[in-house]
Amino acid sequence: MKKIILGLACTAALLGTTVQAKEIRLASDFTYPPFNYKNSEGVPVGFDIEIADALCEQAKLDCTWVSQSWDSLIPSLLARKSDVIMASMRITEERKRKILFTDKYYQTPAVFVAAKSAEFGIDEKGLEGKTIGVQQGTIHDRYVTDKFGDIVNIKRYTGQDEVYLDLKNGRLDLTFGNSDQLSLAFLDKKEGEGFEFKGKAVTDKAYIGEGTALALRKQDSKLAKQFNTAIEEIRANGTYDKIAAKYFTFDIYGSDL
């Protein structure tokens, strides 16, 4: 009887592996240009999207995209509503307790952005009473909450694009986020002309993490290794640099902060 049960278990495991190999569900919130967003036709586009597609092709995986809110990405992954998170998620110790990360595929610091005319400093004295907008559930949310939560008003948004709208319309004093995303999606555009980086870049690994990576369930280590190999291979064969050049004029892969 034990042998029969074991045989059935092995068969189920093999079937599960086969299903996984046929279709890998990649999850993103698609609210984070130029990394991940949807174009006017509703098609997922951006740096994350192209890198993920290249990784799946390199690893010979059949991948499909699913849309989820940022806050639901990890719970949905653990509930098996997706197989991989590909949404510019940073590697942090807190997240590593719940999920498994691949090697990084890019690395950037975090910064504050406010109006050019703003004269306050990025410290407790300067920020007291100010309203800061952040994307809810991100490392930027946690950093602002931990460092300044007692002295500032924090407005949390489901997407970074909503933050920019309120910042532009004067409903926020400043925002805090990924330096490259803030620059490319806001400061370099017409609506961001009156704004600039404020203070020093934040590189504290306790908050900013060890880079940005794909996230999987801890038991899916084999799949993670496939993606790690693919990351190494597209870095070596020029595919990564070719994709990056479409979006950035600098080395987005970055060195360790």
Domains, the chain, ordered by start: 2-107+211-247 (3.40.190.10), 110-208 (3.40.190.10)
The pLDDT of 192-214, averaged and rounded, is: 94
Which pLDDT belongs to residue 250?
A: 85
In the predicted structure, residue 71 carries a pLDDT above the cut 80: yes
pLDDT of residue 255: 64
Asked whether 35 and 181 are in contact (CB, 8 A), the reply is: yes
Which pLDDT value is given to residue 142?
Answer: 96
Quick one: tokens of 156? 């949390």
Lowest mean pLDDT across 7-11, 75-79, 162-166: 7-11
197, β-bridge pairs = 113
User: What is the model's pTM?
Assistant: 0.77
pLDDT greater than 50 at residue 247: yes
pLDDT value of residue 30 = 97
Count of Cβ atoms closer than 10 Å to residue 147 Cβ: 18
Q: What's the whole-number mean pLDDT along residues 57-74?
A: 98
Between CA 201 and CA 36 the distance in angstroms is 23
